[in-house]
Chains A and B, each alone.
Chain A
Amino acid sequence: MLHITCPWCGPRDDNEFHYGGEAHILRPATPEKLSDGEWAEYLFLRQNAKGPFLERWSHSAGCRQWFNVVRNTATDEIIEIYPMGALPKSAEGIKAYEGNWRRQSAAEKNAKAGVSGT
């Protein structure tokens, strides 16, 4: 069983939480400019890492807040917990973020271009 430390409520058992899957998947700003394959990458393809993995959790049976977690999926060890909208600070977390194929994907580039207004 996972023991997750909610940033607001403290350590709780995993059945108080709802899993949100891979973190940092940005919605493309102008989907009509993406091909079907690029859209499928955003919609369906997942990192599914064996090792440090960035994921979202919600304390659904508690404060109902969302937050991000760096967890090693091979050992279930929780390495770092950080707020929504932020990036990981641990070495494992940074490596997992930068090493994700999604950083180079057309969908993410499209999303970032939309956010900066260019």
Chain B
Amino acid sequence: MKGSANGMRALRGGASRYSIFALARNALSYHENWQKAWRSPEPKPEYDVIIVGGGGHGLATAYYLASVHGVRNIAVVEKGWIGGGNTGRNTTIIRSNYLWDESAGIYEHALKLWEGMSQELNFNVMFSQRGVLTLAHSEHELKEMRRRVEAIRLNGIDSEVMSPAQIKQLVPIIDTNPGIRYPVMGGFIQRRGGTARHDAVAWGYARAADDLGVDIIQNCEVTGILRDGGKVTGIETSRGTIKAKKVGVVTAGHSGVVASMAGLNLPIDSRPLQALVSEPIKPCIDTVVMSNAVHMYISQSDKGELVFGAGVDSYNSYSQRGSIPTVESLLAAAVELYPIVSRLRVLRTWGGIVDTCPDASPIISKTPVDGLYFNCGWGTGGFKATPGSGHVFADLIARDEPNAIAAPFSLKRFETGYLIDEHGAAGVAH
């Protein structure tokens, strides 16, 4: 561990570490001398790699390019502020209980990175393995669930079926009365799943990437992708032209817009996805409960707000606001399953725009343009994949070849027909 100027332990690039001692030391100066977590540099004329999109996935990509592959001349360009898109709009659920081997590969890769992330980044991302429980509301759903549990376990991922009695014990506020409209027939749980603090993920990766020399350039919107003879040469932005040998695009929601700047079409529809939180109340649910049949899931934030997520809206839109009937049906299901929420007030609702793919699996791929890479199509569930997505995308950009985890998620699968249909496992939890 390298020493910093003041003799305290430092991050790899030299920034001082966050610790109980740093907290105590800064308390002596009334917390007025904390160093900025990342710089706000002017863009350089040229970079080896530019990452378009300063969300969790983009910042993770930059961090792993610097830390794993030793690339030093990197910029992340973000049209707004980092973590202000879907990174700041999701409901922070993390799990890896997907059906197919390809999905298990990437989501479990991500989950393993989550387990060490706070230590690696020296930033508390508040990763809480509180378990993710998925409910079954019919005999058929329960049978299908048993099949999934076995498939998931064959991939070495923890998963177990729960009876209604076990569910009632774990989640006392749930109504397990068999007479309700959507009775709880059972469920399955991934105990290693859970939640994390979404902003902290963006900030942690940004700080660690900045420490390794990555330029994080905010308020810089990409307006064009420069090419010369089928090879990418840079980007046009609202802050001028920036040249680059390679460009990685990670702009969930707007991937189609950026792709069209390079003359590419994607198999993606951009749609609103909504969530809402209640007023804060005392702790009453210490796990995550999803219900795919009624398109609703619930968890409780550390602030005490109940966090509800809905299903994706049916129509394409970039307006970042969804349809009221979607929220109404979410709340109807919530009141039915958790009667205590009926008297709570909704504090706020919001929407984000998600890239939905025909097979509900992401795209991590080279493109017909040399040096231009896309990481998109995470649909309703990209947050959970943040570290794994960044890790394999960095590898793809550095080596210009996908590794075994990323390879199945190539754009080519739409030509070969090798789709990875995860509509069932993608469910609604994001």
Contact = CB atoms under 8 A, between A and B. Distances in A.
B369 to A, nearest CB: 15
A95 to B, nearest CB: 15
Interface residues on B, range: 20 to 34
Contact of B266 (A45, A49, A50, A55): A45
A1 B267 CA distance: 26
Given A13-B325, A15-B323, A44-B358, A50 B415 contact: no
B256 A50 contact: yes
Given A1-B323, A45-B266, A46-B265, A14 B315 contact: yes
A2 B319 contact: no
B269 A73 contact: no
A2 B318 CA distance: 14
Counting chain B CB atoms within 10 Å of each CB, which of A2, A50, A75, A101 scores highest? A50
Interface string A77-101: 0000000000000000000000001
Interface stretch (A25-33, A34-42, A107-115): A34-42
Contacts of B266: 45-46, 48
A36 B415 contact: yes
A30 to B, nearest CB: 19
Contacts of B265: 41, 45-47, 101
B416 interface: yes
B315 A19 contact: yes
A21 interface: yes
A21 B323 contact: no
A70 B415 CA distance: 30
Contacts of A14: 315, 323, 325
A74 interface: yes
Contacts of B219: none
A39 B267 CA distance: 12
B325 A76 contact: no
A67 interface: no
Given A14-B323, A14-B325, A50-B254, A44 B316 contact: no
A83 B96 CA distance: 45
Interface in B272-328: 314-319, 321, 323-325
B37 interface: no
A7 to B, nearest CB: 18
Nearest to B314: A19
Given A14-B315, A18-B314, A76-B319, A50 B257 contact: yes
A40 B254 CA distance: 21
Nearest to A39: B415
B195 interface: no
Counting chain A CB atoms within 10 Å of each CB, which of B321, B414, B417 scores highest? B414
Contact of A46 (B257, B269, B417): B269
A19 B313 CA distance: 10
Contacts of A44: 267, 358, 414
Interface string B343-366: 000000000000000100000000
B222 to A, nearest CB: 14
A45 B368 CA distance: 15
A53 B316 contact: yes
Contacts of B315: 2, 14, 19, 55
A79 B181 CA distance: 40
Contacts of A73: 270, 316-319
A62 B35 CA distance: 61
A21 B269 contact: yes
A87 B80 CA distance: 37
A74 B272 CA distance: 11
A2 to B, nearest CB: 7
A104 to B, nearest CB: 11
B316 A55 contact: yes
Q: Which 4 A-B pairs have the closest CB atoms?
A: A15-B325, A44-B267, A48-B256, A19-B314
13 contacts: A19-B314, A44-B358, A44-B414, A47-B265, A48-B266, A49-B256, A50-B256, A50-B318, A53-B316, A73-B270, A73-B317, A74-B318, A76-B317
